[in-house]
Structure 1
Amino acid sequence: MRHRFSLLAACAAMLAGTSVGASAQETLTIATVNNGDMIRMQGLTDAFTEQHPDIQLNWVTLEENVLRQRVTTDIATNGGQFDIMTIGTYEVPIWAENDWLLPLDNLGDDYDVDDLIPAIREALSKDGTLYAAPFYAESAMTLYRTDLFEAAGIEMPEAPTWDFIADAARQISEANDDVYGICLRGKPGWGENMAFLGSMARSYGANYFDASWQPQFDSEGWTTAVTQYVDMMTNYGPPGAASNGFNENLTLFNQGRCAMWMDATVAASFVTNPDESQVAENVGFAPFPCGVENCPNQGANWLWAWSLAIPAGSQKAEAAETFISWATSKAYLELVAENEGWSNVPPGTRTSLYENEQYTSEAPFAEQTLAAINNADPSITDDKPYVGLQFAAIPEFQGLGTAVGQQMAAAVSGSMTVEQALQSAQQAAVREMTRAGYIQ
């Protein structure tokens, strides 16, 4: 009878697609963004599947705006399309409050949660519990061509203002027929052009909402910021700038077409990589510009982390957490360093990375990146009632920010004046905030 039972068990296992003594294989579907660090991770995941042959990975790689729409729809409707989602510091506190995410409380003894940079760990936690693990984190900085500045006799100050940036863009544009003086985000989206514009407006002392939740798009700060932004984009930027987001501007900069680019600190490793950038030897770094000499609002730095999280409805939570632990670990940073060099490891997540002399010596942007992240304070303050810098961490902001971003893109393309765009943005924001009950 024992032999007969073993034979039956073996047959059943074969029909089920497994072998006796082997665990069933699971496939994790992972939604992620088409940024360079994420693409690099996909190329290195053979190291994970070799360690975990029972876990296979199915990647769904999407453009930034599309990713945000897909994962938001899926988790809000409990669609179950994804086992792991790539989300950011905007979604985590809201979704954790709604019980849409599983806590990451079993990342392993050697994961070292305490090594995560405090500002990033706090932004991805609720009541002290981590709900997403940061793959890379960023603030904002100025990237510029040192050779073009030298040729024009311009010196980048330690704390540039927007007036300085605008004048430098003019001088370099006039002196170079084949180089745009400045490249900035124009693609509409709450995390695209509005991430940039929200930060620029903050550098002029404005926020999305004042302490009473009144929208501020009709304020002097927003008017000054958007007027200057449109002027620079129109006169010194590339054609079709209203369609350019992070990836498009990265390509232009790496091709040597941009003299200056104000964007995420994570861009630094790509523009200094000679395998990807034609200008890698001629890139300098400075803080994100201020609107005035003594910049209000903490220098207008933003704070963001593309992070991996598990939707609460996942049926593969254990395998998902195993992968997240691997992809956001110290060991993964060492794997990237071994294959791509220390300057190409995902930045901004771990204190130990910035204590690593190999990294700081190979990454000329390391000090500037860490300073920008540490300078960012997304907490509620006297002049703003919401958590967030380049965004407002309220559920309504996702739709509102994208709608306003479309008005700003229209101003860049010339189909609407700055005054019209801001007036339309203000009206839409007042209407939405009143409907949602923030304004009585």
Structure 2
Amino acid sequence: MTTRPKNTPRTVATVAVALCTSLLAACSGAGGGGGGSQAHSINVLMVNNPQMVDLQKLTADNFTKSTGIKVNFTVLPENDVRDKISQDFASQAGQYDVATISNYETPIYAKNGWLSPLTAQSKADTAFEQSDILPSIQESLTSGGQIYAEPFYGESSFLMYRKDVFAAKNLTMPANPTWTQVADLAAKADGAQPGMKGICLRGQPGWGELIAPLTTVVNTMGGTWFDKDWKAQVNSPEFTKATKFYVDLVRAHGEAGAPQAGFTECLNNMEQGKVAMWYDATSAAGLLDGTGSPVAGKMGYVPAPVDRTKSSGWLYTWAWGLQKASKHQDDAWKFISWASSKTYENLVGTKLGWSKVPAGKRTSTYTNAQYLTAASAFAAATKTALTNADPLNPGVQPRPAPGIQFVGIPEFTDLGTQVSQEISSAIAGRSSVDSALKTSQSRAETVAAKHAGQ
């Protein structure tokens, strides 16, 4: 499992509406058994990403022994955990005290009153050092001036490329490339080695697959899903230009099987020498340059390509949210503050190796000599990407909702997935971009109508 956001089978809004039909039954369990039967015991529901599995292994000996707080983990695949979290938090059943949520869900859950604000606890807990959290990450987890989640790790996006391939072909990667330059380099690197294509770009349907990188291209090329007045802009000239550029690039110089390629497939392509460049999550760098990787030491990293903006990298974080219905607020905060702390990062570095540190959330991580040694190839580029990410102003015009690679509204999981299916079909050559965006515009207008005038 990767750190990217992925397609979910149901939206937050759909879950909430479904739960409202059985409100009495749901409310009968509100504040129920959350935290288990022990006086100092909490229930934590989390995604089964490798970093969380590490946490699960380290908790008993390094948290429970010192605090007396037993942590009961429920660990599920990403799609399943999103559904279960939505159901439990929406009903305020209180079965789980803490859950992994992202910067997509956090402001939505906060607005709905499903989360306990953490501002007071973070200020009172001086050892936590809230000021050390990267500003872009903290902002993405803040709503109405209150912090509603604390990050476990974060990521942005950047361009990864094979330095040895570029050297052999006498190609130079600009320090801050434009998409036009990247397209030119992809054409020149295509075929640099037998079976190698110029670039890998996600084509797999999903609001967190194809739509994530595509939306960053849309942003920097002047487009947006909705303007500040909630008018849908999916078939606008700017959105169309960006989508045609993306589709044309991946069709001409992209990976084999692009309509089915997501993060994992592109990672495999890069590791196996099948592509010369890859635009995707900064979290991929630790895998590409990790011990045992066939391309370790051969990779270069530069900022996300741009067109009309100065930066274009996305922003994503898995974070800890505390359910408002939890009856174990203090114990839950102790766990959250430990799991998000510098102390925990140092524990992982010491016990498991510095390349496995859940990074991307604290400024101090990028001054830690041991971490910088292990992540020397990509640490600086990752920090720059995270620092430059601006969820409130990712493009060239005002937005009605926060988000860089997504629109921060409940309906976006369904809308983004439906639009991605149309565009993936265009990548496969089964339809045109114009046709895909015409259908997508109609769907976006339906969503916009729900928000206009609010």
The TM-score, its normalising length taken from structure 2, stands at 0.83
Q: Does 1:252 align with 2:266?
A: no
- 1:75 maps to which residue? 89
Q: Does 1:370 align with 2:383?
A: yes
Q: Does 1:352 align with 2:367?
A: no
Q: CA deviation at 1:80?
A: 4.7
Measure the CA separation in 2 of the matches of 1:219 and 1:419: 10
Q: CA RMSD in A?
A: 2.5
8 Å contact kept, 2:98–2:332? yes
Measure the CA separation in 2 of the matches of 1:257 and 1:36: 25
**Equivalent residue of 2:359, what SS?**
coil
Q: CA deviation at 1:382?
A: 4.6
1:93 maps to which of 107, 110, 121: 107
Q: Does 1:279 align with 2:295?
A: yes
Q: Which structure 2 residues correspond to residues 24-423 of structure 1 after superposition, within 5 A?
A: 24=39, 26=41, 28-32=43-47, 34-46=48-60, 47-52=62-67, 54-63=69-78, 65-78=79-92, 80=94, 82-104=96-118, 105-106=120-121, 108-275=125-292, 277-291=293-307, 295-296=308-309, 298-363=310-375, 364-379=377-392, 382-423=397-438
* Structure 1 residues 147 and 415: CA distance shift in structure 2, 3 A: same
8 Å contact kept, 1:28–1:316? no
Measure the CA separation in 1 of the matches of 2:145 and 2:398: 26
Q: CA deviation at 1:282?
A: 0.3
* Structure 1 residues 74 and 421: CA distance shift in structure 2, 3 A: farther
Structure 1 residues 111-140: Cα deviation after superposition (integer angstroms, max 9, x where no partner) = 111211122112212344321110111221
8 Å contact kept, 1:31–1:82? no
Q: CA deviation at 1:351?
A: 1.5
Measure the CA separation in 2 of the matches of 1:338 and 1:289: 35
Structure 1 residues 27-68: Cα deviation after superposition (integer angstroms, max 9, x where no partner) = 524221x444334333433433443554133232313x4443
Q: CA deviation at 1:142?
A: 0.6
8 Å contact kept, 1:186–1:242? yes
Paired letter, 1:307: A
Structure 1 residues 417-436: Cα deviation after superposition (integer angstroms, max 9, x where no partner) = 211111111111012212x0
Deviating beyond 6 angstroms after TM superposition, the runs of 4 or more aligned structure 1 residues are: none
Measure the CA separation in 2 of the matches of 1:154 and 1:254: 20
Paired letter, 1:369: T
* Structure 1 residues 358 and 129: CA distance shift in structure 2, 3 A: same
**Equivalent residue of 1:92, what SS?**
helix
Structure 1 residues 73-123: Cα deviation after superposition (integer angstroms, max 9, x where no partner) = 443344555432211112111211211111224354411112111221122
Measure the CA separation in 2 of the matches of 1:234 and 1:310: 44
Measure the CA separation in 2 of the matches of 1:224 and 1:205: 9
8 Å contact kept, 2:202–2:263? yes
8 Å contact kept, 2:226–2:448? no
Q: How many residues align?
A: 411
Paired letter, 2:175: E
8 Å contact kept, 1:29–1:81? no
Equivalent pairs: percent with the same residue? 39
Measure the CA separation in 1 of the matches of 2:221 and 2:251: 21
8 Å contact kept, 1:270–1:344? no
Paired letter, 2:131: D
Paired letter, 1:284: G
Measure the CA separation in 2 of the matches of 1:40 and 1:414: 42
Paired letter, 2:274: R
- Deviation larger for 105-114 or 333-342: 105-114
Paired letter, 2:302: A
Structure 1 residues 240-277: Cα deviation after superposition (integer angstroms, max 9, x where no partner) = 333333233223323333321111212222211123x2
8 Å contact kept, 2:315–2:404? yes
Structure 1 residues 12-31: Cα deviation after superposition (integer angstroms, max 9, x where no partner) = xxxxxxxxxx9656352422
Paired letter, 1:100: W
Measure the CA separation in 2 of the matches of 1:253 and 1:323: 37
Paired letter, 1:289: P
* Structure 1 residues 177 and 235: CA distance shift in structure 2, 3 A: farther
Unaligned stretches of 5+ residues in structure 1: 1-21
8 Å contact kept, 2:191–2:197? no
* Structure 1 residues 354 and 240: CA distance shift in structure 2, 3 A: same
* Structure 1 residues 73 and 178: CA distance shift in structure 2, 3 A: farther
The TM-score, its normalising length taken from structure 1, stands at 0.85
8 Å contact kept, 1:135–1:328? yes
Q: CA deviation at 1:332?
A: 0.8
Paired letter, 2:101: I
- 2:452 maps to which residue? 438
Measure the CA separation in 2 of the matches of 1:179 and 1:413: 19
Unaligned stretches of 5+ residues in structure 2: 1-36
8 Å contact kept, 1:190–1:398? yes
